């Protein structure tokens, strides 16, 4: 019998497993796929703790604390597994995607200023200077958000995976969990090849978490929102700061002169691959504000499914005694993962629910985050 079985080997499941492995706990992480296929490997890597919020909420404060964990995490993963997660501290510019959105940028600026005086509105001249003349703004409001830095999400997820390997955590891939039934004590975890048992079970199955727990929480509000991404290489575009427009399109400058352009949002779409329509929209939006990107070369494209909940708040709850669900981190799962790993690890190990998670129950509440839909 395992002490803890974690279902899902994305950033959430792996961060929790890594935290638990600090104690002498027998852990298995099960995933129905091989690593590399899902949201955690596909993300933009923005640590947008400010960009993503327009009003005060518990999640906003958690996101800000999570953001601060990344520099030390970069160092600890580099030490432990020798992989660099490419933390870049060049901040983010939020730009209105049309004149109609100017007021929303200015309102968000006022909100963020209360917590971070370094957030600044960027008049056209300053925007030009900060982006080396690359961003065209045409009467659009913009603000610079320092601290909303970024990492390479693919490398981060690979580093977590390697850390789990090195820590001797039992990892079981290509194995789908079809059911979780109660034992006394603990649970039976039924897979397509085996039946495993554990005292405690964590479902961190991303957008599929609700489906797996449908017997336990019939009114699950977890669903998937597909996002498409392009990667463009441009040897002489000198742009370091992420550009995020209010319609949800963003350009994240990566290492080796690469620019990640994201992302579309298709609700309840679980398909794989980039559509012609999505590609067209991304290229059109990105080059409208950064015309020089037109000379870049498209070198890769991919898609992933974000775990979404109806209230746009994650679910971090105990479905039944010692059966946990961790899902719905939507556009911010990379950012939130080290914080969730730390505090869920604590909860699972010591049966102590973190009080800051009080709001993230299965029953949905009001919306706190900015919701982009095109
Ligand atoms: C295009 C895109 C851009 C993004 N950009 C950002 C960003 O810039 N910043 C940010 O913070 N976040 C971003 N995100 C969001 C972030 O990627 C997700 O919130 C996060 O990766 C979710 O992690 P997870 O571990 O919950 O889910 P996942 O990474 O989806 O992992 C869930 C795992 O569970 C497994 N699984 C599911 N059901 C079962 C089952 N029955 N049996 C066994 N295994 C199962 C799946 O195979 C999968 O590997 C982005 C997402 C996308 C798609």
Residues 189, 7: Cα–Cα separation, whole Å? 9
Per-residue confidence (pLDDT) for residue 221, from 0 to 100: 79
Q: CB of 40 within 8 A of CB of 333?
A: yes
Identify which of 73, 1, 17 has the alpha carbon closest to the alpha carbon of residue 202. 17
Distance 7 CA to ligand 1 centre (A): 12
Condensed to tens digits (0 to 9), the pLDDT of residues 302-338 reads 999 999 998 789 999 999 999 999 999 999 999 999 9
Per-residue confidence (pLDDT) for residue 187, from 0 to 100: 98
Q: Whose CA is nearest to atom 27 of ligand 1?
A: 206
Q: Is 219's pLDDT higher than 80?
A: no
Q: Is 93's pLDDT higher than 50?
A: yes
The total of other beta-carbon atoms located within 10 Å of residue 56's CB is: 12
Condensed to tens digits (0 to 9), the pLDDT of residues 138-176 reads 899 999 999 999 999 999 999 999 999 999 999 999 999
Condensed to tens digits (0 to 9), the pLDDT of residues 53-86 reads 999 999 999 999 999 999 999 999 999 999 999 9
Using CA atoms, how far residue 365 sits from 21, 57, 359, in Å, is 33, 12, 8
Residues 131, 200: Cα–Cα separation, whole Å? 50
Displacement of CA 45 from its chain's centroid (Å): 7
pLDDT band at 220 (very low <50, low <70, confident <90, very high): low
Pocket probe for ligand 1: among 70, 161, 204, 206, the residue whose CB has the most ligand atoms within 8 Å is: 206
Tokens 């660099």 belong to which residue? 84
- The stretch 35-49 carries a mean pLDDT of 95
* 17 compared with 371, residue with greater pLDDT: 17
Ligand 1 pocket at CB < 6 A: 7-13, 30-33, 38-40, 42-46, 176-177, 204-206, 208, 212, 227, 229, 262-263, 304, 306-307, 327, 329-335
Q: Is 371's pLDDT higher than 60?
A: no
Per-residue confidence (pLDDT) for residue 374, from 0 to 100: 41
Q: What is the DSSP string of 145-198?
A: ETT--B--HHHHHHHHHHHHHHTT-EEE-S--EEEEEE-SSSEEEEESS-EEEE
- The stretch 292-301 carries a mean pLDDT of 97
Per-residue confidence (pLDDT) for residue 17, from 0 to 100: 98
Percent of the chain scoring above 90 in pLDDT? 91
Q: Which atom of ligand 1 is nearest to the CA of 250?
A: 8
């Amino acid at each position: 019998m395992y002490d803890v079985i974690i279902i899902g080997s994305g950033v959430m499941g792996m961060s929790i497993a890594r935290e638990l492995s600090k104690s002498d706990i027998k852990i298995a992480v099960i995933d129905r796929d091989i690593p590399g296929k899902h949201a955690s490997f596909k993300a933009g890597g923005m640590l947008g703790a400010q960009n993503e919020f327009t009003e005060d909420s518990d999640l906003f404060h958690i996101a800000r604390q999570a953001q601060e964990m990344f520099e030390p995490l970069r160092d600890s993963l580099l030490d432990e597994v020798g992989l660099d997660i490419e933390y870049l501290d060049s901040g983010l510019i939020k730009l209105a995607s049309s004149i109609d959105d100017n007021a929303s940028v200015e309102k968000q600026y006022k909100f963020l200023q209360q917590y971070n005086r370094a957030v600044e509105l960027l008049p056209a001249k300053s925007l030009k200077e900060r982006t080396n003349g690359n961003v065209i703004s045409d009467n659009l409001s913009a603000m610079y958000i320092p601290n909303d830095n970024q990492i390479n999400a693919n490398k981060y997820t690979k580093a977590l995976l390697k850390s789990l390997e090195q820590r001797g955590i039992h990892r079981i891939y290509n194995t789908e969990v079809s059911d979780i039934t109660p034992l006394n004590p603990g649970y039976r975890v039924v897979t397509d090849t085996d039946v495993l048992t554990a005292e405690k079970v964590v479902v961190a199955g991303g957008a599929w978490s609700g489906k797996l727990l449908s017997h336990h929480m019939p009114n699950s509000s977890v669903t998937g929102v597909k996002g498409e991404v392009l990667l463009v290489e441009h040897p002489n575009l000198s742009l370091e700061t992420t550009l995020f427009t209010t319609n949800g399109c963003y350009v994240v400058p990566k290492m080796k002169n690469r620019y990640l352009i994201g992302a579309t949002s298709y609700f309840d779409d679980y398909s794989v691959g980039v559509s012609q329509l999505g590609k067209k929209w991304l290229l059109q939006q990105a080059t409208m504000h950064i015309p020089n990107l037109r000379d870049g070369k498209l070198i890769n494209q991919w898609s992933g499914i974000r775990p979404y909940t109806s209230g746009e708040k994650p679910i971090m709850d105990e479905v039944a005694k010692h059966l946990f669900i961790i899902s719905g981190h939507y556009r911010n799962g990379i950012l939130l993962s080290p914080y969730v790993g730390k505090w869920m690890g604590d909860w699972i190990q010591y049966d102590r629910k973190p009080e800051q998670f009080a709001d993230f129950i299965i029953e949905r509440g009001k919306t706190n985050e900015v919701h982009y839909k095109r």
